[in-house]
Amino acid sequence: MPSFYLHLYGPLGLQQDETGFELESVEAAYLLAYHNVPRMAAELARQRLDPHQFKIVITDKKDRYLMTLPFSEALGAKVQ
């Protein structure tokens, strides 16, 4: 089964996922990231950071870029 890495990127830079996940497809990696965004956004908000400024960058085990999931996509549009 392929490995995927869900790196967190935002104003503070890149936080590398060193462990990764064995999943069936990049679509499964996207769904995993999508379902974890609310929990991650809550933690960022507790740190007084705007979750809408963050995204998850999905790569394969050779660190090749596969896709990006902006938090704003998973959380909905930001209210001004």
Whole-model pTM: value is 0.89
Among the listed residues 35, 54, 34, the one whose alpha carbon sits nearest the alpha carbon of residue 44: 54
Q: Is 75 left (phi over 0), alpha (psi -120 to 50) or beta?
A: alpha
pLDDT tens digits for range 26-61: 999 999 999 999 999 999 999 999 999 999 999 999
pLDDT confidence tier of residue 80, bands split at 50, 70 and 90: very low
Paired strand residues for 10: 13
CB 68 within 8 A of CB 62: no
